[in-house]
Structure formats: structure tokens, C-alpha cells
Amino acid sequence: MSTELIKVTINEKDFHVPKGSRLIDVCRERSFDIPSFCYYADLALQASCRMCLVRIEKMPKLQTSCTIICTDGMVVTTQSEEIEKAQRSMLEFLLVNHPLDCPVCDRGGECELQELTFDWGNLEERFIEPKNARPEKYLSPMVANDPQRCILCKRCTRVCDEWMGEDAIEAGNRGANTVIGTYGGWLNCSECGNCIEVCPTGTLLDGTYRHQARPWELTQTVSTCTYCSDGCQMSLGSRGGELMRIVARDRYVNGLNGEFLCIKGRFGHPFVNHEQRLRTPLIRYQKGGKLIPATWDEATRFAAERLDLIAEANGRDSIAVIGSPRLTNESLYALKKFATEVVGTENYAIADAFSLTTFFDNLGGPLATHRDIRQAKTIVLIGGEPEELQPLTGKQIRQAVRNGGAKFILINSVRIRLREQASQFIHIRPGTEEAAVLGLFSDADDSRAAQKLGIDTGELETARKTINETQGDIVVMFGNELSDEAQAVVAQLPKVFAGVGRRVLLHPLPLFNNSVGAHDLMEGDKSVFELLDGAGESIRAMYVAGSLLPMHTRPREDALGKLDLLVVQELFETDTTRFADVVFPAASFAEVDGTFTNNDGFVQRVRRAIEPVHQSKADWMITTQLARELGVEFGFEMSASAVFREIAARVPAYANLRYPVLKDESQPVQVKHVIAPQRDLSTEIAAIRRAVEDMDESLKPIEETPLVGHELFRLGTLTDKVPQFHLLAAGNPKPETFRISPLYQITIDESLKREPVMAG
Ligand code: SF4
Ligand code: SF4
Ligand code: SF4
Ligand code: FES
């Protein structure tokens, strides 16, 4: 939008607003209330509800303010008898076929139609004709549908198309019979539930929470998602110690994701109150024996005594400490403090899918925020699959292209769905991402790199030309395919592409909610692989907070069994606790205070929505208790904010941060990662050149586009506790009838009924 100001008069008051401003936004920003249903900022215009009417001087009829761009000298009236009459008539029409069943509607109490009817509607209905009646049904395991409540604002279809790129729902039929429906009667989409979130009525509903609680019974707690590294802000609705639902609705929260959440963030929470949560500490008194419930004092003493004995017999470095990138910054900090100040071992590591150390050591420009991605002029994505692994980033890329006109250079061996948005898709051989980094870095290796990538040399040249001609922001993103050397080169691309009129920003795509925080607070020189390789030899004991990933344990299945002592703190029994001698029950993200650092570098608050279930405790508290048993007092006084104060005092990137500074989720605070000067990358480039030489030229780029949900629906420790995820992981079979919960397909022994199904 232009910075030039123009004069607009609204209800006899003069304002100066930027040229190009939309009238509905201008009115609302200046506290003139304008009702609307179909207008939704940052989505294509629909202009169908006609609730946003205003009178504009010199225009013949009432105008829809959502379609009007302000012009200099415009004189506007937002409230008058004429406007009110028109708005009341519109509401009366909208309610003609509406069942008015607010007392049994899940949206009752937080429904925009209900609110606007109270504020702008008539109290009496004049239509006495029979209403169109349509039965309630499910559209998928996650999305329930009551078609009669629809006001055809089409927010849902636009969100599905523009945010998700899926077009899974559309309006069918005509006139008074128009309904929102699916193709083929059953939703096979990414099940994000954003159509539910933006629906202003109770037409699309959370199928997992249906008829469980009324909105006003829920205590809302703003917190941060515990799944991917995007760090969506969300509102946890709890009642009586139980987490009932999660929404991102901006009436409760206004974070970096607006009203967006993906399936995991929105529907993946039932693990919190799941019956399989660990209830008490457990001790395995003999190798090969059973885990036996114990008190906290017994288990802590048991672990501490054995750690002491092992350190005495084998030295301090025989004890390894491993943290999960799912833990809060506070818990990771306490864990590293335990490793270095209590045990005195150099053997500590993060159980993440890949390390960000060389990336941050060479960081040549700021991290891109999600807002930067949305407003970028050019986006370069090397590897990765954000629409499945960091869905908010995927949505920002899509909107930057579709609604913002950004150029999108996609470099991938797979035809991922985002290629539909790409202005240039460089389809490379699997495992050659580093050759692409070399090609982007300079033209010196173009022909060699292109040969290995299996592309024309000109494709690299075109990509560099697009980048070098960009006026505005360039965002460079990468997935987990890059080696440390290639990450170092990507981190320095802001120096390579620096130019007048553009910023070059970086956006790593790690997999976990606190991968960046784990890097900042606990990254050491060791990898989990090295520590596991030493199990039973130089490493005699391990203290693991969270669990190891299958990528760590599968190639070394017997490693944990070789230890003299394994202490684990977890929510559930896992493949890691299977070998544990002591297990402490840890509290979930919904039960603790703390912070996560997302892939924007934003440090965002995690807030306790319910009391810790059973006897579980926050991970940092467990570590503090174990340290105390070993004779070291951390002095955190049972307060997460005290841990965070110590982080701020000791970790330079987090200097001066405090919980009150982080309290407003609409103004997230970015951690101060050091921006490195331009580096001599000759060592890294030489290593990449050697790797490129060895690349296999016989492989072919992958032609199939992976199925929607192939990563999102994958069952992990947490999503395994959500029955609906089992349906999706089993291919989302269409049930025999949509009129009762699709969960009826799961039998009592949790297996899926797989009888042939018919359309309902
Ligand atoms: S759940 Fe998401 S992808 Fe599926 S129809 Fe709704 S908005 Fe579209
Ligand atoms: S289902 Fe909801 S969002 Fe979609 S058109 Fe109907 S009222 Fe609007
Ligand atoms: S995009 Fe990531 S952070 Fe956002 S809701 Fe999904 S899993 Fe959570
Ligand atoms: S909000 Fe303007 S027509 Fe619906």
C-alpha cells in the first residue's frame, strides 16, 4: 500500500488514511462498527452477504464497504435508519432457513450469526413457511456438518482454496438449495479444520469435540503448539482439569498464525488426558524385570544413587544427558545445567532429526518471520515439504504467491503439492540438494552441478537471475536434506545476494516445536548417534528427557539395553522407556509454564491450562529434583519464570527477556541470534564439490506427488492417542453412513472395520 495519505470523512469526522486502503478496514480501525459475514481480511473478496453496507456521498445506492477502496475526499456514513433497515432485512433473509437451534449448537455462545442477530437483527421472524430441513452429518472424521445453519458466506471454500490449496469443499446446488459440500460426499483433504475455524456459524463443527462442552464453560488459555517448528498460537479450552478443545480463533488469541491451525495443532491434543499417561514414577529394580510404581522420593533417590556410583566407578563422562526438542526452553536449560554443573559431563546432546549448528554459526542475515514470508517478493525453497511438516509456512508461501504475487523457486526431488505455486520448479535427482546449493552460490560450478541435478544449466541461471532482480524481500528456506557444509553456505546467501532494495532472510525448517530453542540452549559437540555408539563402552548411564527418535534407535536397537542405567522422563511408555531403569512421569505442554522458540526465532509463551495430570511434573522440575538429590541446588524456587530469568542472564541471545515482555502473542519477540560477518567458505565449497562428484547420476527425479497427509497423518507417540488419526492413517475410509460418528468404524479392540463401504 502507498504511503501517500488521502482524506476520508466518516460520520462527519475527517481522517487521513493511506491511499489504497479498503473502506471496511478504515472504518473498523477507527472504531466505526461495520457488521460483516463474508469479508475476511487477506482472502479474495466474496461480497455476497451485503451486511457491510454504507452510504457514500455522490453514489446512488448503499455500497458494500468491503469492496470499496477509499478515494480522496470520500464522504461516508456508516449508521443511519436506511442502512440499519437494509442490514436487518439481510439478517432476516439469512435466517429464513436457519433452524435457530442455538441451545444445541456447538457454536452457540461464540457464533457470529447469533451475535449479529442480537446486535442488528429483528427480534421477530416474519417467515412462517416450512424451512429447508437437512440432516446433520460428518464430512470426515474431523469435520461435522449441519447444512441448515449455512449462510453461504463461502469463507470455508476460500480458506480451503487459498490457504490450503486443496479446494476440498465447494458450494453445490442452486438458489435456496445451495449447500456447502464435498466432492464424492467425503472429505479427503489435509483435515486442517480451518474451514471450521472461519465458519461464522455452527455449520462446520469440530467433529472430535462435538457436544462435549459449551464455549462459556471453557477456560481459555493462550499457548503455543507442541508439534511443528512453526509455533502457532492457540487457545486451549479446558474444563475441570481436562483439555477439551483447541482453537486459534482470534477472539481469544491473535498470534502469528491468525486463525490458522493444522490438523495436529487443532485435533492432536487428546493425548493430554489420555488414560495411558504415566501415573507415577516407576523403577525397574532388576534388568529384565518389570517397571514397578514408586514414590517420587524413592525413584529420585534410586536414580541419584546409581548415577553417583557410575560416575565414581567410570568417571563423569560415562554419563550422557539427552534432551528432546519438544521440551520447553526452561527444561532444556535445566538439563544442560544438570549435565555440565551437576554431572560435569561433556556428553550431552539433543535428540533432533538434524542439527542447526553450522547454520546458526554462519548466519548471514536475519530469520524470516511468517509475516515476512507472506510479504516476500521471492521465495526459494531447497528440499523440505512444508505443507506436511510446517503447514503454516506452507500456507504463507501459497498466499505470498496467490495473493501477493511473489515468485517462488522450488528445488525438490519430489513433485510436492507446493509446485503448483512455483514460478520455477527445479526438479532434481534425489539426494542432490547440495549440488543445487552450489549452483545457487555461484555460477562457477553450473555445468557440473546441473549434470548431477539432472537439469539444464540454464535453470540455475534463471533462478539466480530472478533472485538478483528481486526488489523487496527474498526468503531462502531449506529442509532436512542439507549437509552441515551446505547449511553453512545457505546461511551465507544473504551476503551473496545482498543488493540495493532487497533484504535476504533465512527460514530453516526443523521438525519440532522447539528445535530452534534446543539449538540455542542445549546444542553440544556430540550427536545422539555418537552417544549411542558409546553405550555399554565409554557411556554407562543415560538420562533422557523425552524419547529418542526412531531414526536414532532403529539402527542401534541394542544400544540402550547395554547401559548400566537408563533414566527417562516421559508422558507415555515408549521405545525408550522399554529399556529404562527409572521412569519419571512428565507433564505435557498443556500442564506447564515455559517458552518455545519457533523457526522465526520468536520466543513464545507456553502456559499451564490444567494442573499436571496424575503425579506428573514439568521436566525442569524433575531435573531440579534430581540435581537436589545429588547435592546441587538450582535455586529455581519451583518457578518457570525463575528458570527463564537465569536463561536471560546467561544466554546472550535471550538477554533481557522476561515473561512479561513475551506476554502479548500479537507482538512476538525475536531472539537475538548473532549475525556472522561474510565468511570464507572455501572449505565448505570444497567439501560440497567432493560430495557432488560422488552423486549418483542414475537416479531419476520422483514423478509422483505424495498423498495429502502422508506425513501429517503419520502416527507418532502423541497422535497415536487420537482415534481419528487412526482412521486417517488407515486411508480415511468412507463410512457406511455419515450420520453417526465415523469412530464407529473402530471396534473395541481398536482395529478398523474394513468392510466394503457405500456412499451415504
Ligand atoms: S479441513 Fe482444511 S483442507 Fe479440509 S475442507 Fe476444511 S479447510 Fe479444506
Ligand atoms: S459452511 Fe460456514 S463458512 Fe462455509 S459458507 Fe456456510 S456459513 Fe460460511
Ligand atoms: S502448523 Fe505446526 S505449529 Fe501450527 S498448528 Fe500445525 S503443527 Fe502446530
Ligand atoms: S462483508 Fe461486504 S458483502 Fe459481505
Is pTM beyond 0.85 here? Answer: yes
CA distances from residue 124 to 91, 95, 176, 237, 323 in whole angstroms, order as listed: 11, 11, 21, 34, 62
Q: What is the pLDDT of residues 669-726, one digit of tens each?
A: 999 999 999 999 999 999 999 999 999 999 999 999 999 999 999 999 999 999 999 9
Q: What is the pLDDT of residue 129?
A: 86
Residues in contact with 662: Cβ distance below 8 Å, sequence separation at least 6, in sequence order: 595, 603, 604, 605, 668, 669
Strand locations in 629-694, DSSP E? 669-670
Residue percentage of the chain with pLDDT more than 70: 98
| Pocket lining: 152 vs ligand 2, CB cutoff 6 Å | yes
1: pLDDT confidence band, cut at 50, 70 and 90? low
422: its cell numbers: 512455483
CA–centroid distance, residue 218 to ligand 2 (Å): 24
Q: Does 749 or 716 have the greater pLDDT score? A: 716
759: pLDDT confidence band, cut at 50, 70 and 90? very low
Q: Containing H/E element for 562?
A: none
Q: Which residue out of 143, 145, 166 has the highest number of ligand 1 atoms within 8 Å of its CB and is therefore the one to mutate?
A: 166
- In angstroms, rounded to a whole number, what is the distance separating the alpha carbons of residues 459 and 462? 5
Which amino acid appears at position 83 of this protein?
Answer: I
Residues in contact with 284: Cβ distance below 8 Å, sequence separation at least 6, in sequence order: 290, 291, 292, 580, 581, 582
Q: 382 - beta bridge partners?
A: 411, 478
CA–centroid distance, residue 200 to ligand 2 (Å): 7
121: pLDDT confidence band, cut at 50, 70 and 90? confident
CA–centroid distance, residue 192 to ligand 3 (Å): 10
- In angstroms, rounded to a whole number, what is the distance separating the alpha carbons of residues 412 and 429? 8
| Pocket lining: 143 vs ligand 2, CB cutoff 6 Å | no
- In angstroms, rounded to a whole number, what is the distance separating the alpha carbons of residues 123 and 111? 17
Residue 199 CA: nearest ligand 2 atom is 3
CA–centroid distance, residue 208 to ligand 2 (Å): 19
757: pLDDT confidence band, cut at 50, 70 and 90? very low
8 Å CB contact between 246 and 722: no
Residue 147 CA: nearest ligand 2 atom is 1
Residues in contact with 721: Cβ distance below 8 Å, sequence separation at least 6, in sequence order: 270, 271, 274, 276, 572
- In angstroms, rounded to a whole number, what is the distance separating the alpha carbons of residues 107 and 113? 10
165: its cell numbers: 490449496
Q: What is the pLDDT of residues 258-274, one digit of tens each?
A: 999 999 999 999 999 99
- In angstroms, rounded to a whole number, what is the distance separating the alpha carbons of residues 38 and 48? 6
Q: Which residue out of 142, 225, 235, 598 has the highest number of ligand 3 atoms within 8 Å of its CB and is therefore the one to mutate?
A: 225
pLDDT at 427 exceeding the cut of 80: yes
pLDDT at 177 exceeding the cut of 90: no
Burial of 751 (0-12, 13-18, 19+ CB in 10 A): exposed
Q: 476 - beta bridge partners?
A: 380, 506
Q: What is the pLDDT of residue 750?
A: 67
CB atoms within 10 A of CB 28: 18
Mean pLDDT of all residues in the chain?
A: 95
- In angstroms, rounded to a whole number, what is the distance separating the alpha carbons of residues 209 and 106? 9
123: pLDDT confidence band, cut at 50, 70 and 90? low
Which amino acid appears at position 588 of this protein?
Answer: S
pLDDT at 591 exceeding the cut of 50: yes
Q: What is the pLDDT of residues 277-308, one digit of tens each?
A: 999 999 999 999 999 999 999 999 999 999 99
749: pLDDT confidence band, cut at 50, 70 and 90? low
24: pLDDT confidence band, cut at 50, 70 and 90? very high
Q: What is the pLDDT of residue 748?
A: 64
752: pLDDT confidence band, cut at 50, 70 and 90? confident
Q: What is the pLDDT of residue 758?
A: 44
Pocket of ligand 3 from Cβ distances under 6 Å: 225, 227-228, 230-232, 257, 261-262, 264-265, 391-392
Q: Which residue out of 36, 54, 152 has the highest number of ligand 4 atoms within 8 Å of its CB and is therefore the one to mutate?
A: 36
- In angstroms, rounded to a whole number, what is the distance separating the alpha carbons of residues 748 and 744? 9
CA–centroid distance, residue 38 to ligand 4 (Å): 5
Q: What is the pLDDT of residues 125-160, one digit of tens each?
A: 788 888 888 899 999 999 999 999 999 999 999 999
Q: What is the pLDDT of residues 151-168, one digit of tens each?
A: 999 999 999 999 999 999
| b/e sequence 437-448, b meaning 16+ C-beta within 10 Å | bbbbbeeebbeb
- In angstroms, rounded to a whole number, what is the distance separating the alpha carbons of residues 503 and 470? 9
| Pocket lining: 39 vs ligand 4, CB cutoff 6 Å | yes
| Pocket lining: 155 vs ligand 2, CB cutoff 6 Å | yes
Ligand nearest to the CA of 195: 1
Ligand nearest to the CA of 28: 4
